[in-house]
Chains A and B, each alone.
Chain A
């Protein structure tokens, strides 16, 4: 009996604890498509009260946005060509608490793994370059916050930057907490928007 209890403590309990504490992979509803008017593609993922939608932003659209807010051409181009998506996160539940930390998300491209270019990464760069202060404020608030807690019905909208060249394909591994429990999900084959310059029809 004593041997059985010792074995339980030694093997079974650590295994159970590991199972309890490891992130739960969610069976998700993933949709992807293309806006027929703009030609821009989107990836939407929904499971366990978390709705995540990434829509391509044309580099030209992003360039124009940041030029208009005080960045110089070089800085605007740097943001525009860093694989920027219009991103939406929503807690679709009524009573759950969802916590996101984008600094833990991983981008896999060409066998390499990297993190997102979060507000903090960019802020350091703008401070080094002594970028225009109004531009820095606009940039900070237009990018999705790195860490945020979403209560029922809360949603946020902002740009997210993945630090890859235009046209690159990548897989996104993302994680979140729902009511204190870790979850994770994955979207494969996301495409960074290409740096195209559309011409009018002849």
Chain B
């Protein structure tokens, strides 16, 4: 009985991820008037604090997600690929988990290993300051701290055309090393 149920759930999850892949688009929607991104300060899984305004001068890809959300899971590997390709080019990826604890996210990273910071918004205070209605929603923030693009739903973040859009936002001489201000990154 239990095995049959587990098998059924695995099939459902696989079907969900396949559907996410089929539905994923590639567009980034420009945000009118480029509002200033609401600042926040959140801890990552290692206890390092990340303040959004400390990343001025860089392009930030800010993703709101949760482990139970199928399109969020679908886009994570491509986000990791994007991070590998751009981490030394002044592009930062921050993924804010909404409402879950460290243990849940840590278990998730066993199946979806990612190296960019996963931040915790346990009481959902940060997401409520952003124009987000559903998960995943991703914003691109330019080096001046303004929201320039938005994407609702999963994307193939390692798509070259999409990465070029991010690179176009970089100042001509972008800094190459990212350091959170409150605590140094663990090695």
Contacts and interface: CB of A to CB of B under 8 A. Distances in A.
B114 to A, nearest CB: 20
A61 interface: yes
Interface string A71-89: 0000000000000001010
Contact of A151 (B4, B27, B98): B27
B129 interface: no
Interface in B120-141: 122-124, 133-135
B23 A88 contact: yes
Contacts of B154: 155
A157 B68 contact: no
A110 B25 CA distance: 39
Contacts of B29: 151-154
Contacts of B9: 61, 64
B71 interface: yes
B123 A137 contact: yes
B12 A138 contact: no
A144 interface: yes
A142 B69 contact: yes
A138 B1 CA distance: 28
Contact of A35 (B15, B70, B100): B15
Interface in A47-70: 51, 53, 60-61, 64-65, 69
Nearest to B121: A137
A94 interface: yes
Contacts of B122: 134
Interface size class of A (residues with CB under 8 A): 35 or more
Contact of B134 (A35, A51, A148, A153): A148
B4 A199 contact: yes
Given A88-B23, A138-B99, A199-B1, A37 B15 contact: yes
A138 B68 contact: yes
A200 B8 CA distance: 11
Given A134-B99, A145-B133, A148-B134, A155 B153 contact: yes
Interface string A160-202: 0000000000000000000000000000000000000011100
B151 interface: yes
14 contacts: A53-B19, A61-B12, A134-B100, A141-B66, A141-B69, A144-B134, A151-B150, A152-B25, A153-B25, A154-B151, A156-B152, A157-B20, A158-B134, A198-B5
Interface of A: 35, 37-38, 40, 51, 53, 60-61, 64-65, 69, 86, 88, 90, 94, 133-134, 137-138, 140-142, 144-145, 147-148, 150-158, 198-200
Interface of B: 1, 3-5, 8-9, 11-12, 15-16, 19-20, 23-27, 29, 66, 68-71, 98-101, 122-124, 133-135, 150-154
